[in-house]
Chain A
Amino acid sequence: MADYKLLGKNYRTPDLYAKVTGRSKYAEDHRAEGMVFAKLLVSPMPHARVRSADTSAAEALPGVLGVLTPDDLPDEVEAPNEAALTWEPKYEGEPIIAVAAVNEQIASDAIELINLDLEPLPFVLDPLESLRPDSPNARTDGNTTVGREIATIKWSASDLAGLASGEIPMEAEAAAEWSYGDLEAGFAEADVIVEEHSYNQSTSHQPLESRTTMAYWEGGKLYVYPSVQSTARSVGPMARWAGIEPSNVVLINEFTGGGFGGKISGYVHAQIPILLSKKISRPVMMRISRREENAIGRARPGVQARIRLGMRSDGRITALDVHGVGEQGPYGRSGDNMNVAGIGSLCYQPLACRMRGTNVYTNTPPKGPQRAPGGVQSNTMLEPIIQKAAKQLGLDQVEVHKINAPEGQAKFGAPGRDGEQGNVSSAFAREAIDKGAELFNWTERKARSGQRNGSKVTGIGMSLAAYSAGASGVDGLFVLRPDGRLYIQSGVGNLGTGSTFDTMRTAAEGLDMPWDKCEVAWGDSSKHLPWSCSQGGSSTTHAHTRANWAAVEDAVQKIKEIAAGDLGGEADDYEIGGERVYRSGNRSQGLSFARVAQRAIDLGGKFDGHELPEDINGMTTASATALAGQGLMGVAKDNYAEGGRRMSFVAGYAEVEVDIETGNIRLVDYAAGSDAGTILHPKTYGAQIFGGAIQGFSVALSSKWVYDRRWGLAVAKRFYSNRPPGILDVPHEQPMKWANADLPDPFNPLGAKGIGEAAQGAGSASVASAIADALESLGEGNGDFHRTPVTRDMILTKLEQAPIGHDRLTAHV
């Protein structure tokens, strides 16, 4: 690893002091003069048409300032996208009408006075149900999308003939399909073929801060205080929802209380306080309750799949065939189900692979990207199958993963139009597996598999997970001012992952500036921020090290040119260091950065931002123009070579203890080895490894939605019934361990990649694998769950060999 002064070192992020003292302001902490409150009338049914709505009594209630109905929305949204309010709610809890009043009590009283006449419409909760002949569709215009078009797919009776209930016909019609290699040959070559049905439940995002939003208008400008995962990328959507130009939006969101993919560039429901505040000329705060968040906040699509995997006696995976059905909720589009083989083809490099799938609309809350979309489902569903094949061949799970692991610029996924698969920028998956195995002490631990301690059985499992780890093509922007300080602009957003600030240290590193002389501006679009990636998809670390490095190169060249102009010689005769530019070999002949900044202002033009590169984003141009004349400006678009899709890898290792009397699963230990290139900040890196893993533990152990099937209503809609892991649910007696391969990504000037996504699949899949390992030791087939989360009742039912009461793939039970 290169020897950096700042990168790779722990430090305190500049947002932390405000947080520990309670000064940090999240959306609901903002106040505005005359602020009033909005409450929502939401659908009590999973699918209905509003025949009439009488709001007159509500509007007449003293203290009520106005209502917003679907008729007040400017444009009808294009299907299958959702509107902020609708006359045809397609899931329980979907907002229909909003009321603004001087306080929430009056707003709620007013909502009770609205007379709503609803016509119930047919609904469907389980994607497989909607694919059966003569079944209902969640949308009146179809049950899926084929390409960009909304369509209806129904399997025929002959597709299903001969199959038991709850099985997926491998060759039945699918909305999408891709393949590479010779699948038949792959299976012919295999010494073991494992075929299973598997179900990965939909899980809600549940950030601790809901999508509360406050908005007001002043002087033709919209001031909006949302809870989003990007400052730069949320301005455009807010402008669209407000019906104004982005330049008239001021978006303030310095602290976001979690997102996990559910708040990436805003959310359509922000339109409600935006339009209500315009309508009534008062600031409007729309607080979103936990129950509302459970409905309008996003969720990870559930995936039901039939999976066939072939493995040769040497452990090589020869073929992978997947038919995956996704659950979308009623709106939007997701590709999570297609990612089962997409990510599978990366992690396990099968010689031949086919992915067929249909993403089905359901009358459950809308689904969207959640931390490693489709990747978590892929790893969690495939790992127990790989483990089973390895066991049947008498092979070690770690060795099997090393045999199949991607390396270098490995290819993966669906072939493109040219028939060629895409590739990753770098893969050091084997090194990640080795790092984790060493930390976890895999070989010795493995011997504990099946060990009994009273009613408790030990299980040991592992997994290799991968997911996207970086965007590219965004802009870097900073100004070195005559006060000798560096002012770095970040439009990323701030979820507290650290990357907002960690990546800004790239600028300080490149200019050899002490960090205590750097200021970061973030979280407020009026602070002249550059075009940035969203803080989602583990994009930031890679994208903004690149962008800031490009700006560093721009600034260093300008600094040297100023020195050459003032002191003679060529720019190349100079170097920088210690907050100075000086002639190579003669440190005394030079200028301080403070002096350089002043000279940049004197010279103007490109030096102080009066002339800007043509290829930067319009948002960056506007911000740089506003900052021009303040000092020496570094500004550039990231045009570095991409080399492929940035993907990071995490190998997760878990030990569990399953109590066969109570069905309780205790997670004893977890360790992870990773490949995410250069680490910028070890403490925030570790937080991603473990935070991701623990969110994965809830996929494997606790988070699910349960529905009343007759009425289509959710019964698990709060933390206690759809529970994220608590502190006692995770290994806590000793700190958990991680280690990184520390091999730089060759397509990032600093070698950095993101880590948050892959961390989650490693957690869920290794725990699912460890549970299967524990139970398999009690008898063949006992570990065959192929359904997550694995709950106590499932374990006891399995061990008792009792009927489970539903089909193997039934959703939401």
Chain B
Amino acid sequence: MSQEIIEVTEETAQQGVSRRNFIKGAIAASAAVSSTNYLFRSNGGTVLAQTPAAGAVERLITVNVNGRSRRIEVPPMETVATTLRYKLGLTGTKIGCDRAECGACTVLVDGVPHYGCSLLTHSVRGREVTTIEGLEAEDGTLHPMQQAVLEEQGFQCAFCMSGFIMNSVALLNDNQSPTRKQAAEWLSGNLCRCADYDKILTSVMRAAEITRGA
């Protein structure tokens, strides 16, 4: 919290709120005036062509995204979710909390589900990142999990959907015959605020059926 922001006066001090105490209290309550949460430091990107932020050192790295090798300039603190959304135009990956609480940003890295909001892009150099946009085959054939959601009318607002689908894809790669309980445990790191969990699990069960049948 920046010290310039609060200036406590004689009157307020008399009311028992000294500047020092207020700041202590604010820290204790984990409040802060700063806006520097949930921001991205995009610069020199291909989508937005922003000017670089002062002091940020960009590096050109290669990441394989949805089967294509992508050369991107990335500052050290940029997350995978930001890179996908603001450098590569892949907005199917959503940012719901930006703090690894909701799972909306889940993507696969070498087949393993990760929260894209909490993974630095530099850490996936040379690795394979798969997003919701990468599930569809070239001929338009959908992944069994996508197909199952269509059949079951899964999800409501669907802001959480791509995260759930990516995590379910990882589940089905691991286990083609999960029980509802196993699927629920696997998906427990994803939040659906519309709480459409019943249809989500039914979709996963259907996707497993399609996968086994294929």
Contact = CB atoms under 8 A, between A and B. Distances in A.
Please indicate whether A and B come from the same complex rather than being unrelated chains: yes
Interface of A: 10, 12-13, 16-17, 19-26, 28-29, 31, 35, 39-45, 62-63, 92, 102-109, 111-120, 206-209, 255-258, 260, 287, 289-292, 495-498, 681, 683-684, 686-687, 690-691, 693-695, 708, 710-711, 713-715, 717-720, 724-728, 730, 732-736
Contacts of B193: 206-208, 258, 260, 724
Contacts of A714: 29, 31
Contacts of B197: 690, 694, 727, 730, 732
Given A44-B1, A732-B184, A290 B34 contact: no
A45 B36 CA distance: 18
B73 to A, nearest CB: 14
Interface stretch (B57-65, B98-106, B108-116, B118-126): B98-106
Contacts of A718: 97, 99, 101
Nearest to A735: B198
B161 A120 contact: no
B29 A10 contact: no
B35 A691 contact: no
B195 A730 contact: yes
Contacts of A25: 91
Contact of A26 (B90, B101, B159): B159
A16 B196 CA distance: 14
B4 to A, nearest CB: 5
B96 A711 contact: no
Contacts of A29: 85, 91
A257 B159 contact: yes
Contacts of A119: 9, 11-12
Contacts of B99: 290, 718-719
Main SS class of interface, A:
loop
B27 to A, nearest CB: 10
B214 interface: no
Interface residues of B, number: 94
Given A108-B35, A687-B199, A44 B5 contact: yes
Nearest to A684: B153
Interface string B61-103: 0000000000000000000000001000111111111110110
11 contacts: A12-B151, A22-B132, A40-B35, A108-B39, A287-B39, A291-B38, A495-B157, A496-B156, A684-B156, A690-B198, A725-B195
A713 B26 contact: yes
Nearest to A682: B153
Contact of A694 (B30, B133, B152, B195): B195
A711 B188 contact: no
Contact of B162 (A22, A104, A686): A22
A683 B152 contact: yes
A687 B200 CA distance: 10
A12 to B, nearest CB: 6
Given A29-B91, A118-B6, A208-B96, A727 B187 contact: yes
Contact of B195 (A13, A711, A724): A724
B33 A715 contact: no
A44 B6 contact: yes
Interface in B6-27: 6-9, 11-12, 15, 17, 22, 25-26
Nearest to B40: A104
Contacts of A117: 7
Contacts of B92: 21-23
A102 B152 CA distance: 43
Interface of B: 1-2, 4-9, 11-12, 15, 17, 22, 25-26, 28-43, 47-48, 50-51, 53-54, 56, 85, 89-99, 101-102, 104, 131-133, 135-136, 142, 146, 149-153, 155-162, 165, 179-181, 184-185, 187-188, 190-202
B51 A103 contact: yes
A257 B157 contact: yes
Closest 8 A-B residue pairs measured CB to CB?
Answer: A22-B92, A257-B159, A289-B38, A694-B195, A713-B29, A22-B132, A104-B39, A711-B25
B157 A496 contact: yes
Given A22-B90, A104-B39, A117-B7, 8 more contacts: A43-B33, A103-B40, A111-B34, A255-B157, A258-B193, A690-B195, A728-B188, A733-B179
B67 to A, nearest CB: 15
A472 to B, nearest CB: 25
A114 B33 CA distance: 11
A116 B194 contact: no
Given A16-B150, A258-B193, A63 B51 contact: yes
A41 B1 CA distance: 12
A290 B40 contact: no
A301 B75 CA distance: 43
A736 B162 CA distance: 24
Nearest to B25: A711
B153 A105 contact: no
A116 B5 contact: yes
B26 to A, nearest CB: 6
B207 to A, nearest CB: 11
Contact of B39 (A105, A207, A496, A726): A105
A103 B190 CA distance: 29
A103 B184 contact: no
A505 to B, nearest CB: 14
A732 B181 contact: yes
B190 A727 contact: yes
A133 B104 CA distance: 48
Contacts of A104: 39-42
Contact of B25 (A62, A255, A257, A710): A710
Given A20-B161, A103-B51, A290-B97, A118 B198 contact: no
A728 B153 contact: no
A76 to B, nearest CB: 25
A733 B133 CA distance: 30
Contacts of A26: 94, 159
A497 B156 contact: yes
A636 B199 CA distance: 36
Contacts of B159: 26, 207-209, 257-258
A120 B17 contact: yes
A497 B142 CA distance: 23
Contact of B30 (A105, A257, A715): A715
A708 B29 contact: yes
